[in-house]
């Protein structure tokens, strides 16, 4: 695959204050798992990444997400603060930032054969692991099949990472820059082990462009990526994430169609079980008057990605609102966004909504863990 | 009759021959004045001079007593005095007369009091010019407790022979030498009085009062009445009986209560009816004051209204009707002083015009039903304080203009509460903070001050989809409750954003967070509707159908259909006058003004 981030550099910038356990550090993986992320503008890519650390640390998963370099660490710190403390969404991504290099530390229960002792049967025991993530958060416009969208997504100003571009991983600091950036993005995605495709039902109703964003990028990746060893499809694992599950438009539909698992999870947060996510995806628009993009999307997904290497998730980066007093999900008051106005023509992108309460991501870490755990397997 | 036929002192006629005959045996004295007219003793020449002197002195003394009865000064009577008095003589005459003054008589007022308010009384006044007969009391309750002159009889008709000249007559009435025989005088006066009694005093209470007490002929008149009417009451005299009656009438209590005519909608069928607001109870007297509150009939401060004080009779009798402008501010207060039965002085309003339509004309102007503007208005103005600063200011200005207009036009008829809401704080920690401020139902002027004190919203972004209108509506429902009692109740919502839902998130596509206090605005509206409140809304955006050329399907918040059920209009297309008309609180210009003020 292409351009692996030099592991040495990544490790050298890992902050020491990670609270390393007394146990000997887990063996570093041979190479980072590259996970690519794509989807239409405003479908929630950056927020997804920003919620990843909160999901890791507060979602009951017992994993840690840390940056491998200054820019990656700052991204985690900045976005976590914005979501949690300021209760604001992250700004729209304006140009292609440097790659995000993160380490995911966790433990996994595995059957392992003890290395010493008389009885060397396999036992179930927690095994620490570390996954190196190499991600790229592109402006959604770059995935567009319409050239004018790609142009507007790459303004020359507003570099979110510009202040830290110099600290970024070498060679990928060229933020925008038209064809260069696009080529970098496509090469990154093609070289990924796993791909996250984000589908935003609330955008789809209005824009109806998810398929356009999907298929152009898939074709570009195909150009570079070759095929899987087992079938003629792309070698990538694909996590399809139906985003903004917390939004009433998505949530109410899921409830009505009976996809919402009785809330057993933390704070009673509802979710759609992974096993039924595809079904829900197929049912999203069934029987409504809206144009149904799911069929064409599914056809595209199935023709390019192996069925066994594809999974579906119903996600929410911010989760549902919890009343500070009750501190539980309440069906009559779960909306976690509040639309804001400045009295003019409406507020721009990230200022349009404020986050009402705590951020409690749903199914954000899961697809990443799945991809991380499966990379390299057929 | 020559002088020899009269008493040389008092000049009453005497039978000279009889005196002469009797005088041979004893001294003969004048039956009236006691002067020795003749006797067996014949005075000698020397004695004659002394006798002349004694007669002159006696004559002067006699005349001075008459003058003292007639007045406080002898000078007017000087031409009729036989001699010129020294001051000491005059004073002595006055002392003598004063010593003989008859006992004090009860005042006429006390006599009337004793009779009670409804009985008529004939008052006979003995005066300088003759007799006057009045009737008073028992007159219609409405007018001034009047009196009416029944008859005036000059002295010449009572007792022929008295001089024409008033001073001279008074001198003779007081006992000055007149040459009239007292017995004849009694008989003559008795005959004349008998005629009067028969004509005026049968079967009615009579009081006699003499302005000339102690004078022989006037006393004879009084005696004649007492002789003919055993029940006659004697009252203290006064020089001018009409003036006394005037004064007494003013001091009399009123026989029937007085009230102020006012209009109301009859409970039940709502027809306009004239009612009396109590002013003075029966028995009220001059000096009493009364006040009532009325509502100015709609039609502005310039409008004149009739203030009609009427009796509690059925049908009522007008007592006094004036026209007045009910001023702003003190609007509604009518204060009246009672100067006597039927005599009213308006203290408030302080300028009234007696040029008023007659009572029947006023009654004819009462419409069958009162216009809606005539009903007391309870208005709650719910005002969104947040949102765009410039728009928030325009909302405030509109309400301020409306309050000023209502103050001018309706005064106390309208009671207005101003309720404003800020936004729910986005910070979850503060989300339960109270966002509503405002005042109770109060006069428009006071409500304007409440409005001025409402806070301004902080600058910066604000909720795009909703504002805590539900909190304001909850307050409004608490202000407008209970029986309506003919009041017109209005909720005026001046806002840009609809309320937060009580629970849930409304539209799934553009969801909105529910009220943190879980207030359900629909419950508030249901309470308001149950209290008979009309719902009028002025929204930042006009209803889509009201904008020509605009897509009528433009998304409009459905809440406005409810909150603007009676009327909905856009902030840009309305001013205070237009709004007042929509609210139905101002009269329409065509309708004739109401004749009376309204029951508060
Ligand atoms: N309700 C809800 N809204 C979300 C969520 N995530 C993102 N949004 C909304 O979507 C907007 C865009 O999110 P971003 O994360 O910036 O989307 P993006 O895909 O990175 O957009 P570009 O950078 O413009 O391509 C945010 O400003 C939010 O308003 C979520 O989990 N729930
Ligand atoms: Mg982004």
List, as one string, the DSSP characters of B176-233.
Answer: ------HHHHHHHHHHHHHHHIIIIITTSEEEEEESSTT-HHHHHHHHHHHHH-TT-E
Whole-complex ipTM: 0.80
At A182 the pLDDT is: 85
Distance A175 CA to ligand 2 centre (A): 14
The atom of ligand 1 lying closest to the CA of A349 is 27
Q: Please report the DSSP string for A213-239 in residue order.
A: HHHHHHHHHHHHH---SSSSSBS-EEE
B269 pLDDT higher than 80: no
Residue B515 with chain A: CB contacts under 8 Å? none
**Does the structure show a pLDDT above 90 at B202?**
no
Average pLDDT, chain A: 80
Check CB contact under 8 Å for A249 and B429.
no
Cβ A135 under 6 angstroms from ligand 1? no
Please tell me the distance from the alpha carbon of residue B2 to that of residue B354, in angstroms, as a whole number.
66
pLDDT at B488 over 90: no
Q: What pLDDT, on a 0 to 100 scale, did the predictor assign at position A264?
A: 58
pLDDT at A130: 82
With 70 as the cut, is the pLDDT of residue A174 above it?
no
Choose the most confident range, by mean pLDDT, from A313-322, B211-220, B543-552: A313-322
Stated as kind and residue range, the H or E segment containing B91 is: helix B87-100
Distance, CA of A280 to CA of A257 (rounded, Å): 8
Q: How far is CA B580 from CA A187, B175, B377, B410, in A?
A: 70, 83, 11, 11
CB-based contact, A183 to chain B, within 8 Å: no
Does B444 score more than 80 pLDDT? yes
pLDDT tens-digit readout, B149-165 = 889 999 999 999 999 99
What is the average pLDDT score of chain B? 86
Per-residue pLDDT of B231-264, as tens digits, reads 898 888 887 888 888 887 777 788 789 999 999 8
Res. A315: pLDDT tops 70: yes
How many whole angstroms separate alpha carbon A70 and alpha carbon A93?
Answer: 19
A247 CA closest ligand 1 atom index: 1
Rounded distance, CA B570 to CA A323, Å?
A: 36
3-state secondary structure of A347: coil
DSSP string across A26-84: PPPPSSPEEEEEEESTTSSHHHHHHHHHHHHHHSS---EEEESSHHHHHHHHHHHHIII
Task: State the residue for tokens 């709004």.
Answer: B579
Name A34's Cβ contacts closer than 8 Å, sequence gap at least 6: A1, A4, A133, A134, A135, A188, A191, A192, A193, A194, A375
Tokens representing A120 are 């060397």
Per-residue pLDDT averaged across B513-538, rounded?
94
Q: Count the neighbouring beta carbons within 10 Å of the beta carbon of residue B329.
A: 12
Cα B249 versus chain centre, distance: 15
Q: Name the pLDDT band for A21 (thresholds 50, 70, 90).
A: very low
Least confident of A303-312, A368-377, B138-147: B138-147
* Better pLDDT: A310 or A322: A310
- Smallest CA–CA distance from A201 into chain B, residue: B509
* C-alpha A90 to ligand 1 mean position (Å): 8
Sorted by sequence, the CB contacts under 8 Å of residue A136 that are 6+ apart come out as A36, A37, A96, A97, A99, A100, A185, A188, A189
> How far does the centroid of ligand 2 lie from the alpha carbon of residue A17, in Å?
28
What does the pLDDT read at residue A245? 97
Instruction: State the best of B461, B468, B520 to mutate against chain A, taking most chain A CBs within 10 Å.
Output: B461
**The pLDDT of residue A291:** 77
Ranges of H-type helices in chain A = 7-12, 45-58, 70-81, 147-152, 178-190, 201-207, 210-225, 248-256, 274-283, 294-304, 365-374
Q: Highest-confidence range of A8-22, A45-59, B371-385, by mean pLDDT?
A: A45-59
pLDDT for B222 equals 93
Please report which confidence band the pLDDT of residue A347 belongs to, taking 50, 70 and 90 as the band edges.
confident
The pLDDT of residue B581: 84
Contact A248 B391 (CB under 8 A): no
Whole-angstrom distance, CA of residue A84 vs CA of residue A51: 9
Q: Do B503 and A333 touch (CB under 8 A)?
A: yes
* Mean predicted confidence (pLDDT) in B85-89: 92
For residue B307, what are the contacts with CB-CB under 8 A and spacing of at least 6? B260, B321, B322, B323, B324, B334, B346, B349, B352, B597
Alpha carbons B218 and B132: distance in angstroms, whole number: 13
Measured in angstroms, how far is the CA atom of residue A283 from the centroid of ligand 2? 27
Average pLDDT over residues A193-202: 94
Ligand closest to A347 (CA) is: 1
Q: Which of A247, A324, A341, A351 to mutate to test the interface with B (most CBs of B within 10 A)?
A: A341
Tokens of B480: 């407008």
β-pairing, B352-353 with B533-539? Answer: unpaired
Say if residues B446 and B414 touch (Cβ distance below 8 Å).
no
Domains observed in chain A: 9-13+30-321+359-374 (3.40.50.300)
A75-79, A125-129, B304-308: least confidently modelled range: A125-129
* Domains in chain B: ranges and CATH: 1-44 (no CATH), 48-99 (no CATH), 108-250 (3.30.420.60), 260-368 (no CATH), 373-583 (3.40.50.410)
* 3-class secondary structure, A279: helix
Contact A340 B387 (CB under 8 A): no
Chain B: give the shortest CA distance to residue A343, in Å.
5
Q: Residue B411 pLDDT > 90, yes or no?
A: no
Better-scored residue on pLDDT, B342 or B125: B125
- pLDDT class for B460, splitting at 50, 70, 90? confident
Query: What is the predicted pLDDT for the residue at B252?
Result: 76
Residue A314, both tokens: 């119903």
Taking the CA atoms of B116, B118, B120 and B123 in sequence, report the sign of the dihedral they define. Answer: positive
- In angstroms, the Cα distances linking B557 to B388, B553, B568 are 18, 11, 12
Mean pLDDT, residues B70-88: 91
Residues in chain A with CB shorter than 8 Å from the CB of B503 are 332-333
b/e code B346-360 from CB counts within 10 Å (16+ = b)? bebbeebeeebeebe
Give the mean model confidence (pLDDT) for residues B283-301. 82
As beta bridge partners, residue A124 has A111
Percent of chain B with pLDDT over 90: 47
pLDDT of residue A175: 40
The region of weakest confidence among A105-114, A354-363, B313-322, B433-442 is A105-114
- Nearest residue (by CA) to ligand 1, atom 32, is A244
**Does B128 or A145 have the greater pLDDT score?**
B128
Contact B513 A338 (CB under 8 A): yes
**pLDDT higher than 90, residue B279:** yes
The residue contributing the CA closest to ligand 1 atom 11 is A42
Given a cut of 60, is residue B587 above it in pLDDT? yes
The residue-averaged pLDDT of B567-586 equals 89
Q: Is B484's pLDDT higher than 90?
A: no
Token representation of residue B474: 């909850």
Nearest to B503 among A202, A205, A332 (CB): A332
Q: Which of A338, A355, A358 should we substitute to test contact with B (largest number of B Cβ atoms within 10 Å)?
A: A338
Q: Which of A248, A335, A341 sits opposite B461 (nearest CB)?
A: A341
Per-residue pLDDT, averaged over B87-107, amounts to: 83
Report the chain A residue with the minimal C-alpha distance to residue B458: A342
Residue B446 has pLDDT above 60, yes or no: yes
For the cut 60, the answer to whether the pLDDT of residue B139 exceeds it is no
DSSP bridge partners of A337 = A355
Distance of alpha carbon B41 from alpha carbon B295, whole angstroms: 96
Question: In angstroms, rounded to a whole number, what is the distance separating the alpha carbons of residues A337 and A352?
Answer: 9
Note the pLDDT of residue B588.
64
Closest chain B residue by Cα to residue A358? B428
pLDDT at A221: 92
Compare A242 and B118 and report the one with higher pLDDT. Answer: A242
- pLDDT value of residue B36: 85
Q: Rounded to whole angstroms, what are the CA distances from B517 to A85, B425, B435, B500, B514?
A: 24, 12, 11, 10, 8
A118-132, B50-64, B209-223, B274-288: which range is least confident on average?
A118-132
The partner residue sitting opposite B505, judged by closest CB among A248, A340, A351, is A248
Inform me whether the pLDDT recorded for B384 exceeds 90. Answer: yes
A249 in contact with B, Cβ within 8 Å: yes
A363 conformational bin, left if phi > 0, alpha if psi -120 to 50, beta if neither:
left
pLDDT value at residue A129: 78
């Amino acid at each position: 695959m292409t351009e692996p981030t030099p592991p040495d550099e990544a490790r050298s910038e890992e902050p020491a204050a990670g609270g390393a356990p007394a146990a000997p550090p887990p063996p570093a993986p041979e190479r980072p798992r590259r996970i690519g992320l794509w989807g239409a503008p405003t479908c929630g890519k950056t927020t997804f990444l920003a919620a990843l650390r909160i999901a890791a640390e507060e979602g009951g998963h017992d994993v840690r997400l840390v940056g491998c370099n200054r820019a990656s660490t700052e991204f985690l710190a900045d976005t976590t603060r914005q979501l949690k403390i300021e209760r604001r969404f992250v700004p729209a991504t304006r140009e292609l930032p440097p790659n995000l290099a993160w380490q995911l530390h966790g433990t996994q229960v595995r059957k392992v054969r003890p290395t010493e002792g008389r009885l060397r049967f396999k036992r179930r025991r927690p095994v620490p692991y570390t996954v190196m993530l190499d991600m790229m958060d592109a402006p959604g416009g770059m995935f567009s099949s319409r050239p004018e969208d790609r142009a507007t997504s790459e303004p020359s100003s507003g570099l979110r990472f510009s202040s830290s571009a110099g600290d970024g991983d070498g060679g990928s600091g060229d933020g925008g820059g038209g064809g260069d950036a696009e080529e970098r993005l496509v090469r990154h995605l093609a070289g990924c082990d796993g791909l996250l495709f984000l589908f935003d039902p609330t955008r789809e109703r209005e824009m109806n462009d998810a398929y356009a964003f999907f298929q152009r990028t898939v074709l570009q990746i195909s150009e570079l990526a070759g095929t899987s060893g087992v079938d003629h499809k792309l070698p990538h694992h694909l996590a399809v994430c139906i985003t903004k599950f917390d939004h009433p438009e998505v949530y109410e539909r899921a409830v009505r169609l009976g996809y919402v698992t009785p809330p057993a999870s933390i704070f009673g947060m509802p979710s759609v079980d992974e096993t039924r996510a595809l079904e829900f995806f197929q049912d999203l628009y069934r029987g409504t008057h809206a144009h149904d993009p799911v069929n064409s999307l599914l056809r595209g997904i199935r023709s390019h990605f192996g069925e066994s290497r594809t999974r579906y998730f119903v996600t929410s980066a911010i989760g549902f609102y919890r009343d500070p007093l009750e501190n539980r999900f309440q069906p009559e008051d779960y909306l976690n966004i509040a639309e804001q106005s400045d009295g003019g023509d409406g507020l721009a992108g990230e200022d349009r909504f404020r986050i009402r309460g705590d951020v409690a991501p749903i199914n954000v870490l899961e697809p990443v863990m799945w991809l991380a755990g499966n990379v390299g397997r057929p | 009759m020559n002088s020899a036929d009269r008493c040389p002192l008092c000049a009453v006629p005497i039978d000279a021959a009889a005196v002469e005959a009797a005088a041979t045996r004893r001294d003969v004295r004048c039956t009236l004045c006691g002067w020795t007219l003749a006797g067996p003793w014949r005075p000698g020449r020397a004695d004659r001079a002394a006798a002349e002197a004694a007669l002159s002195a006696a004559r002067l003394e006699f005349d001075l007593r008459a003058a003292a009865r007639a007045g406080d000064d002898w000078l007017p009577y000087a031409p009729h005095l036989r001699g010129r008095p020294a001051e000491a003589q005059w004073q002595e005459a006055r002392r003598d007369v004063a010593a003989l003054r008859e006992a004090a008589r009860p005042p006429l007022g006390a006599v009337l009091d004793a009779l009670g308010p409804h009985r008529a009384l004939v008052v006979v006044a003995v005066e300088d010019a003759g007799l006057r007969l009045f009737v008073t009391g028992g007159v219609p309750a409405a007018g001034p407790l009047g009196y009416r002159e029944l008859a005036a009889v000059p002295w010449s008709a009572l007792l022929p022979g008295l001089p024409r000249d008033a001073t001279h007559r008074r001198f003779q009435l007081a006992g000055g030498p007149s040459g009239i025989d007292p017995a004849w005088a009694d008989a003559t006066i008795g005959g004349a009085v008998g005629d009067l009694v028969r004509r005026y005093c049968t079967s009615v209470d009579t009081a006699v009062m003499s302005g000339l007490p102690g004078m022989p002929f006037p006393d004879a008149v009084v005696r004649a009445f007492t002789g003919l009417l055993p029940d006659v009451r004697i009252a203290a005299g006064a020089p001018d009986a009409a003036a006394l009656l005037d004064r007494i009438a003013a001091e009399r209590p009123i026989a029937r209560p007085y009230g102020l005519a006012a209009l109301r909608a009859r409970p039940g069928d709502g027809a306009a009816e004239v009612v009396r607001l109590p002013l003075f109870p029966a028995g009220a007297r001059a000096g009493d004051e009364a006040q009532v509150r009325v509502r100015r009939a709609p039609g502005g401060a310039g409008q004149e209204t009739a203030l009609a004080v009427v009796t509690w009779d059925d049908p009522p009798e007008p007592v006094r009707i004036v026209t007045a402008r009910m001023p702003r501010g003190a609007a509604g207060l009518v204060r009246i002083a009672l100067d006597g039965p039927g005599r009213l002085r308006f203290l408030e309003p302080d300028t009234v015009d007696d040029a008023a339509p007659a009572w029947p004309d006023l009654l004819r102007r009462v419409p069958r039903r009162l216009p809606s503007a005539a009903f007391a208005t309870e208005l709650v103005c719910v005002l969104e304080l947040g949102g765009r600063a410039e728009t928030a200011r325009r909302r405030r200005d509109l309400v301020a203009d409306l309050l000023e207009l209502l103050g001018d036009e309706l005064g106390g008829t309208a009671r207005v509460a101003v309720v404003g809401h800020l936004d729910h704080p986005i910070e979850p920690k503060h989300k339960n903070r109270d966002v509503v401020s405002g005042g109770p139902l109060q006069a428009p002027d006071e409500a304007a001050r409440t409005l001025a004190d409402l806070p301004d919203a902080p600058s910066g972004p604000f909720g795009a989809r909703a504002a805590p209108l539900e909190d304001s509506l909850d307050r409004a429902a608490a202000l407008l409750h209970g029986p309506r009692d003919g009041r017109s109740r209005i909720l005026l919502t001046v806002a840009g954003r609809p309320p937060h839902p009580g629970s849930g998130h409304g539209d799934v596509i553009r969801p909105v967070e529910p009220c943190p206090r879980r207030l359900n605005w629909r419950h508030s509206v249901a309470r308001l509707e149950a209290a008979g409140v009309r719902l009028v809304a002025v929204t930042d955006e006009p209803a889509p159908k009201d904008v020509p050329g605009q897509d009528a399907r433009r998304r409009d918040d459905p809440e406005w259909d409810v909150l603007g059920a009676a009327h909905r209009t856009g902030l840009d297309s309305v001013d205070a006058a237009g709004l007042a008309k929509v609210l139905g609180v101002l009269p329409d210009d065509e309708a004739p003004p109401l004749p009376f003020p309204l029951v508060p």
